[in-house]
Structure 1
Amino acid sequence: MSARIGIGGWTYEPWRGLFYPEGLVQSRELAYVGEHLTGTEINATFYRGQSAASFAKWRDAVPEGFRFALKGSRYCTNRKNLAEAGESVEKFMAQGLVELGDRLGPINWQLAATKRFDAAEIAAFLALLPARHEGLPLRHALEARHESFDDPAFFDLCRKAGVAVVLADSPKYAVLDAPDCAPFVYVRLQAAQADLEQGYPDAELDAWAGRVRGWTGEGREVFAFFINGAKERAPAAAMELIRRVKG
């Protein structure tokens, strides 16, 4: 199995001249990401619906093997009762994401930081997540950020549903380390430091590279994205992790 390692999105002004070469036109930035990294997490899908034409354009901009992870819509996850998200989940699926085809990676359903664990509510939400849409297989990850989710009952629910628990290397939110819940692992690395050219200290990058190799050695596909923190360092951190994973 393989590891897809990348960043969040591809449009970020501080990357111009630091990651993107001077003079690179903005319309070529996604293609440049595809040439140097192996995945990206699209945050725009969290805030608003996209068009089928946009998904198709993104698909065609990157090489075979590249994967797009999508953030699930906030209208699905930022609600008092997740069990009532069915209509919003259906709308999210119907926006044209099937145009990504085999470039589609997992969908990350990020819960509000204030959302507390309720077993019945989470079980009902997981039941709303389809295994396929218009024939395209789907994979789901759940990013719970409240400490109450650090509960074996939550991990068991995700394991039974085959939904990955997002492992967020975050100084702000709960770190839920349960990589065995799905056939793939989803990691969000959020602690990059501005004073380090590669974002993370060598020892930490080595440790993450070791974990990635361990997971892929178990037959799990890995998705690891450098998100937030010192975001300007994310591309360098991703490229360095790719290099270390390859050994």
Structure 2
Amino acid sequence: MGTSGWVYPPWRGVFYPPKLPHRRELEYLSGQLSSVELNGSFYALQRPSSYQNWAAQTPDDFVFAVKGSRFITHMKKLREPELLLANFLASGVLALGGKLGPVLWQLPPTMRYDPGQLADFFHALPRGTAAAAALAAKHDERLDGRAWTSTDADRPFRHALEVRHASFQCDEFAALLTEHDIACVVADSAGTWPYFEQTTARDLVYLRLHGDAELYTSGYTDAALRAWAAKIRDWRRDRDVYVYFDNDVKVRAPADAIRLTTMLDQGRMLDPGQEPR
């Protein structure tokens, strides 16, 4: 449970305590929540030292979801993925070590369903950190001298896909994700984009809450959060569930994430058979 990103000036003095140094904001958030969606990686290739620093600021059981590069998803539209993935991975993703969670791939709203294009991309995705390290080693000269191409252990490397075009609303798309063990992101976007709720990955559900009534802005009522808590309890019977609030404009994301965490903790105490994976 966490938020999409953590560097938001409006959070300062509201969620973050007054006078908290900016460099300690991730540390503070990680004391309140169990995960964060790292979205700086969407806008530009980061550096291994940044990933190492983020990991060092957080508790041992904290988890980072990493948002895939928009150069891959929005500019190249998944074409010629091997070198692009190599550069993305070599930028330091594996430096998170055991704190690395799933990778989120978000497609642009204008991108239509193309099964061949998707299948080629899915085939290129590494499914373990050892395979990810081997692919990272194939980076080009732009990463020379600043690449991270090793892993401390071979762990699962899982992927989730968020789509935003209505053409993806077909049974064939869900079947393709299931075949490749890719999670279909459950995205609540106040009706802005199509809604999907299929569980297409064997052991992963990925949920993004962009706003209940108004995109990126509105918070979630207790009734809405209770409804999401019920869905999450059902999903986590046999899957890991990652939940990220992206309604950050009015500083609702961290508060809603904390409230939903509390609801789930209370439900777990009442029903110990619903322990998360």
Name the TM-score, length of structure 1 as normaliser. Answer: 0.92
Partner residue of 2:98 out of 98, 102, 106: 102
- Which ranges of structure 1 fall in alignment gaps of 5 or more residues? none
In structure 1, how many angstroms separate the alpha carbons of the residues matched to 2:253 and 2:106? 20
**8 Å Cα contact 2:188/2:212 also seen in 1:** no
Partner of 1:120: helix, strand, or coil? helix
Say whether residues 1:209 and 2:229 are aligned partners. Answer: yes
In structure 1, how many angstroms separate the alpha carbons of the residues matched to 2:163 and 2:80? 18
In structure 1, how many angstroms separate the alpha carbons of the residues matched to 2:204 and 2:155? 17
Report how far residue 231 of structure 1 moved.
4.7
In the other structure, the counterpart of 2:8 is 12
Partner of 2:202: helix, strand, or coil? coil
Report how far residue 192 of structure 1 moved.
4.7
CA distance 1:58–1:31, change in 2 (3 Å): same
Report how far residue 229 of structure 1 moved.
6.0
**8 Å Cα contact 1:184/1:220 also seen in 2:** yes
Q: Once superposed, what is the RMSD of the aligned Cα atoms?
A: 1.8
Report how far residue 80 of structure 1 moved.
5.7
Report how far residue 73 of structure 1 moved.
0.4
In structure 1, how many angstroms separate the alpha carbons of the residues matched to 2:77 and 2:223? 41
In the other structure, the counterpart of 1:182 is 202
CA distance 1:118–1:193, change in 2 (3 Å): closer
- Which ranges of structure 2 fall in alignment gaps of 5 or more residues? 134-153, 267-277
**8 Å Cα contact 1:192/1:230 also seen in 2:** no
**8 Å Cα contact 2:65/2:101 also seen in 1:** yes
**8 Å Cα contact 1:193/1:233 also seen in 2:** no
Partner of 2:161: helix, strand, or coil? strand
In structure 1, how many angstroms separate the alpha carbons of the residues matched to 2:35 and 2:228? 17
Partner residue of 1:227 out of 246, 254, 272: 246
Residue identity matched to 2:106: Q
Report how far residue 101 of structure 1 moved.
0.8
Report how far residue 137 of structure 1 moved.
3.0
In structure 1, how many angstroms separate the alpha carbons of the residues matched to 2:45 and 2:189? 27
Report how far residue 202 of structure 1 moved.
1.2
Structure 2 counterparts to residues 96-245 of structure 1, below 5 A: 96-132=92-128, 133-134=132-133, 135-171=154-190, 172-192=192-212, 199-217=219-237, 219-228=238-247, 230-245=249-264
Count of aligned residue pairs for this structure pair: 240
In structure 2, how many angstroms separate the alpha carbons of the residues matched to 1:11 and 1:79? 25
Structure 2 counterparts to residues 78-97 of structure 1, below 5 A: 78-79=74-75, 82-97=78-93
- The structure number with the bigger radius of gyration is 2
4+ residue stretches of structure 1 with deviation over 6 A? Answer: none
Structure 2 counterparts to residues 54-93 of structure 1, below 5 A: 54-79=50-75, 82-93=78-89
Report how far residue 177 of structure 1 moved.
1.2
